[in-house]
Amino acid sequence: MRPSVSETSGDEARDDLVGTSTKTRLLVLLEVCLVFAAVMIFLVAFTPTRIYQWEKQHLGWSYAAMAFYVGIPIVAVVLTRQKWSEYGVSSADWRTNLDTGIKATIVRTIPTLLGWWGVGFLGLSQSSLGAGVIEACLWIVALALIIGILRRQTPKSSARGNLTMIGLFLLLPIGVGLAMSKLNLVVVSTIVWQFVLSGFGEEFVYRGYYQSRLNQAFGRPIRLFGVQFGAGLIGASLLFGLNHALNTYDAAVGLSSLAWGPALATFAAGVFFGVLREKTGTLVAPGLAHGFLDAVGEPLMKVYGIG
């Protein structure tokens, strides 16, 4: 059986760097930066289009934009001519990783719910730097907890119970919407968007492509609290935070500020998801941890008219 990422020793991680020249590392770094820039430029250019505006109005989200958001890194992966498993796209140990993802989902309620409540209690704006610091600290607490859980994770031979639970929770917003006569296309679309595209789609981009590609060039020479990592974990998390910092930037309409609060919180979240990627070797756990809670909570908020 092929060893998972978590089973790779520090010496092996350093050995992976043998034969990797400085030129190769710089080219990979340039590739990652160009892919990130291409995605951001496309989003800026696509946002004002009629297609984007129609999707936002009728579906709540732009599926066309996300297709390019994920598609550009997919093209980059294809051009590298490496196995998809090298980018975390694998069903290896999926039952165990699914269980890990559910546990991580429970743990991430700490920064998600407590952060939202704490920021509101203190009267801070969700986009403020103070809110970002609070949420980042809570993500660090969640990170410590999930590292402890990962150390005690045991292999799972069945996923029936976990799959049933996931299905029932994903149907919960639809059932509540029907009961309250408030079910609409946006509610259903939000479930699909958050679980499939935001959850697994974004995780493929950041933990799949960016993190893996940087690891290929720079290795994972650091071992801390049982987690083997390197430039990939830090670089992907920084890009994840920068992406959210740019959410408030739109020169076309005169918005030139950057959302540093959400960027800080998202960087910490990126480390949380990145550790799941490094420890499990696939995108199952980080994808589930990223998308499951939002796929249940956000459509319920739409049903109840919150936010």
Tens of pLDDT, residue by residue over 173-210, are 999 999 999 999 999 999 999 999 999 999 999 999 99
Average pLDDT of 232-249?
90
Higher-confidence position of 307 and 78: 78
Evaluate whether 177 touches 183 at the Cβ level (below 8 Å): yes
Q: What is the model's pLDDT at position 120?
A: 87
| Three-state secondary-structure class, residue 221 | coil
Predicted confidence (pLDDT) at residue 245 exceeds the cutoff of 80: yes
Range 133-172 burial, b when 16+ CB lie within 10 A, else e: ebbbbbbeebbebbbeebeebeebeebeebeeebeebbeb
- pLDDT above 70 as % of the chain: 90
pLDDT digits (tens, 9 = 90+) for 47-61: 999 999 999 999 999
DSSP H helices, the chain, are 10-15, 22-46, 50-58, 63-80, 94-107, 109, 115-121, 129-151, 160-179, 185-192, 202-203, 211-218, 231-245, 260-280, 284-304
Average pLDDT of 250-277?
83
Q: What is the model's pLDDT at position 3?
A: 39
Predicted confidence (pLDDT) at residue 6 exceeds the cutoff of 50: no
Q: How far is CA 106 from the centre of its chain?
A: 16
Q: What is the model's pLDDT at position 249?
A: 58
Q: What is the model's pLDDT at position 244?
A: 87
Instruction: Assign 246 a pLDDT band (cuts: 50, 70, 90).
Output: confident
Average pLDDT of 245-263?
70
Nearest Cα neighbor of 32 from 280, 240, 294, 290 is: 240
Q: What is the model's pLDDT at position 180?
A: 96
Instruction: Assign 126 a pLDDT band (cuts: 50, 70, 90).
Output: confident
Average pLDDT of 86-115?
96
Higher-confidence position of 121 and 271: 271
Q: What is the model's pLDDT at position 295?
A: 98
Mean pLDDT of all residues belonging to the chain = 91
pTM of the model: 0.91
Q: What is the model's pLDDT at position 162?
A: 98
Q: What is the model's pLDDT at position 255?
A: 53
Predicted confidence (pLDDT) at residue 301 exceeds the cutoff of 60: yes
Predicted confidence (pLDDT) at residue 157 exceeds the cutoff of 90: yes
